[in-house]
Structure 1
Amino acid sequence: MYADKKPDKIDPNEKRLGKWLNCALSYEPLREPCVIDKLGNIFNKEALVEALLGKKLPKEFRHIKGLKDMINIKLSMIPGNQSDSADGATFQCPISGLEFNGKYKFFALKNCGHVVSAKALKEVKSSACLVCHKEFIDSDKMVINGSEEEVAALRERMEEEKAKSMKEKKKRGIDIVDGKKDCGNLEGNGKKSSNGGAKKFRAMDMAPANATKEVYASIFTSSKKSDFKETYMCRSLPLGRN
């Protein structure tokens, strides 16, 4: 009679429905607008944005840093009353009519956001969305609530995209620095100086033809030092000029 009480078993069907019919963060029923992250978790957008602003995201969702990490999706409502569905599903595939309840695999298309079943994509071979006819590529397909293997593949893709983005930002930063260095090495005529630095301007180099360079330079600068010395008593009256 003192044996430990066994924990209550969770009904697999209830667990499945909870994952597909409710927000992964707030556990409230899904309602538009909805979004998914880059791992295929589905959220009510309002709940996710509020958690981001309040910095209250759980550890498993820390990879979501902002709106750029959310993909807006478009779910198709089941026509009529929600009670028509045996599982209480609210959404369905707009092509095949399969219910969005976890029994079937669904994909979200990143380019347009429409959510369609894997069965519809398999049966209707097309490179365009079956709802809006917008072109997409294979990497645009995001599996929703995928298996462990599928989530691992999505995580690997996410890390690759992050590394690529960081590399591009770093490259742009180097290009900007190099551009500043190149500008500093330009001569007056727009060419780089041979010694790697900016060439100093000298007036005599710009003297017109048949002009004495020293005289022409004296117009702009007192480049030639005087041969006269000033007296101790009167600095304004150099010796030899009185």
Structure 2
Amino acid sequence: MGCDGGTIPKRDELVRTKKKAEQKDRNSQRSYLWRYCAVSQTLLQTPVVACELGRLYNKEEIIKRLLNKTQDASNMGHIRGLKDVKQLNLSINPAYDSDEQLQGGQSVEGIKAPWICPLAGIEMSGKYGFCFSWSCGCVFSTRAMKEVPGNSCSSCGAALDRDDVVTINPPAELIPEAVTRMADRRRRAKEAKKEAKRKTGQTEEKPAKSSKKQKIANGSGNSYGAGPSKPGTSISGL
């Protein structure tokens, strides 16, 4: 018999309903990451930046928090300065309506994403994977990035290092890999900086030595700028 004239749902029907609700909730949470700033929870507005872990932020919010030293330890503790984020070159979605707002109870999934992949036309909503080049900040769908060959960015033409491509909002199981890649990138940058300083030091040192030798050869005194030797003064003891 039913309850109030209805039927009693079977266990498998209840399980299916629960799974659908859980899936919808996961999809909404995933879409939220692509629409809102990771630290302020406000709508993303250009200029948008991303960190080396692929999280999205409003650039103005990052600057404000860095100046005020109010970093969010969970989402921003790894950002030491603007050098640790990259401003993204986003392609506008022509179907996006900037006046469209979320209504009460409405899912973010039902709203057009503001940006798309410039090559595949796929919406940047979280349904499909997206990534960006750390070198230039251009954003593409993961599929388009894999399918387009070459070592130059298809959007701006800048040099493209496939090892320097960052996945945007990676799934939980890929975060450890993102952390490792971030550590490797920072190590390489530090080594490159040291090498540049070493080369600069060598370049600056060579003219100084040459100048000193020239002064001695010309009998112009010591390196502190002393004038030429007086007539009759021997310099054989130098």
Unaligned runs of 5+ in 2: 1-21, 101-108, 218-231
Give unmatched runs, 5+ long, in structure 1: 1-8, 191-202, 208-212, 214-242
Q: Match for 1:50: what amino acid?
A: K
Classify the secondary structure of the residue corresponding to 2:34: helix
Residue 23, structure 1, aligned to residue 37, structure 2? yes
Indicate how the Cα distance of structure 1 residues 30 and 125 shifts in structure 2: closer, same or farther if over 3 A, else same. same
Residues 206 and 77 from structure 1, CA distance in 2 versus in 1: closer, same or farther, beyond 3 angstroms? closer
* Correspondence for 2:79: 64
The residue number in structure 1 matching 2:177 is: 153
Name the SS of the counterpart of 2:110 in structure 1.
coil
* Residue number in structure 2 paired with 1:76: 91
Letter in 1 for 2:77: R
Contact (CA 8 Å) 1:109, 1:141: kept in 2 or not?
yes
Does structure 1 residue 32 correspond to structure 2 residue 54?
Answer: no
Return closer, same or farther for 1:164/1:114 CA change in 2, 3 Å cut-off. closer
2:168 is matched with which residue: 138, 144, 147? Answer: 144
Count of residues paired in the alignment: 186
TM-score (normalised: structure 1): 0.63
Equivalent runs, 1:5-154 vs 2, <5 Å: 11-60=25-74, 61-82=76-97, 86-154=110-178
Taking the aligned partners of 1:167 and 1:114, their CA distance within structure 2 comes to 25
Identical-pair percentage: 30
Rate the CA distance shift 1:123–1:14 in 2: closer, same or farther, 3 A: same
Partners of 2:147 and 2:190 in 1: how far apart? 39
- What is the Cα deviation at residue 170 of structure 1? 6.8
Do the aligned partners of 2:95 and 2:112 also contact (CA within 8 Å) in 1? no
The alpha carbon displacement at 1:153 in A equals: 2.2
What code does the residue aligned with 1:17 have?
Answer: S
Is the CA contact 2:38–2:57 (under 8 Å) kept in the aligned structure 1?
yes
TM-score by length of 2: 0.64
More displaced stretch, 155-164 vs 22-31: 155-164
Cα displacement (A) at 1:164 = 4.6
Which of structures 1 and 2 has the larger relative contact order (alpha carbons within 8 angstroms, sep 6+)?
2
After superposition, what is the alpha-carbon deviation per residue over 1:173-209, rounded to whole angstroms, capped at 9, x for unaligned?
Answer: 8x97xx7xxx8xx99949xxxxxxxxxxxx99636xx
Change in Cα spacing, 1:78 to 1:143, as seen in structure 2 (3 Å) is same
Identify if the C-alpha distance between structure 1 residues 94 and 164 changes in structure 2 by more than 3 Å, giving closer, same or farther.
closer
Distance 1:45-1:132 versus aligned 2 partners, 3 A rule:
same
Q: In the alignment, which residue of structure 1 is the partner of 2:18? A: none
What is the identity, as a one-letter code, of the residue corresponding to 1:28? T
Between the aligned partners of 1:104 and 1:16, the Cα distance in structure 2 is 11
Q: Distance in 2 between matches of 1:113 and 1:167?
A: 22
Q: Give the residue type in structure 2 aligned to 1:11.
A: D
Q: Give 1:14 deviation, angstroms.
A: 1.6
Q: Specify the structure having the higher radius of gyration (Cα).
A: 1
